[in-house]
């Protein structure tokens, strides 16, 4: 990673190209994007996210608040284009980007009919974004609902996570994080499969 990239503003990012997806910026003024988020967060089966805005208007109000955090280089909200399905099939939000050596991610949700490996590709690209492109040392901790067995199976398959110190105190959520060393130890085999970031496009 070049030092020039580390000095760029996160808000200058246009999109992130991966093997199986393209992460495009959410447009806070676009009703389409607000509806996409609402539809994804409202789906019943396999969705363990906390309830978001109950209408497009409320979701757009949330996105107006997000825009200020985006412009302050604190977080980035992406819609996920599934290359195989040729449609937007999910969203993900990179957060805590101004927190020194750490970063986080939240609000990751995809449609059930997305390409099977696409969520893993996006997850790995999220870690790669922080660790390799912006010199972060820790991703997380974030919450995973203890009922969300499918998500924990994905984390176990990737094999990079560990439980944070506060995990034992929460009966509803796992608190997990990924540190730089386990990431570096495990990422090689996934890169051999072609997964991960191919290009970051800037303004």
Q: Which fold has domain 3-202?
A: Aminopeptidase (3.40.630)
pTM of the model: 0.92
Nearest to 200 by CA among 128, 135, 136: 128
**What pLDDT is recorded for position 50?**
60
Peptide bond into 141 cis (omega under 30): yes
Residue ranges of the domains in the chain?
3-202
pLDDT digits (tens, 9 = 90+) for 56-109: 999 999 999 999 999 999 999 999 999 999 999 999 999 999 999 999 999 999
pLDDT digits (tens, 9 = 90+) for 124-169: 999 999 999 999 999 999 999 998 898 999 999 999 999 988 776 7
Contact 140, 104 (CB under 8 A): yes
């Amino acid at each position: 990673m070049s030092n020039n990239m580390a000095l760029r503003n996160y808000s200058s990012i246009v999109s992130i190209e991966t093997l199986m997806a393209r992460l495009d910026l959410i447009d806070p003024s676009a009703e389409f994007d607000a509806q996409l988020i609402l539809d994804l967060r409202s789906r019943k089966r396999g969705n363990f996210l906390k309830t978001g805005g109950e209408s497009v208007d409320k979701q757009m109000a949330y996105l107006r608040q997000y825009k200020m955090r985006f412009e302050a280089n604190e977080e980035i909200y992406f819609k996920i284009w599934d290359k195989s399905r040729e449609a937007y099939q999910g969203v993900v939000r990179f957060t805590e980007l101004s927190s020194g050596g750490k970063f986080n991610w939240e609000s990751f949700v995809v449609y059930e009919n997305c390409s099977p490996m696409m969520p893993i590709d996006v997850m790995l690209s999220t870690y790669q974004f922080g660790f390799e492109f912006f010199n972060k040392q820790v991703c997380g901790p974030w919450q995973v609902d203890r009922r969300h067995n499918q998500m924990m199976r994905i984390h176990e398959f990737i094999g990079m996570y560990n439980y944070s110190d506060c995990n034992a105190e929460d009966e509803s959520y796992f608190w997990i994080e990924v540190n730089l060393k386990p990431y570096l130890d495990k990422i090689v085999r996934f890169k051999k499969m072609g997964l991960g970031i191919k290009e970051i496009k800037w303004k």
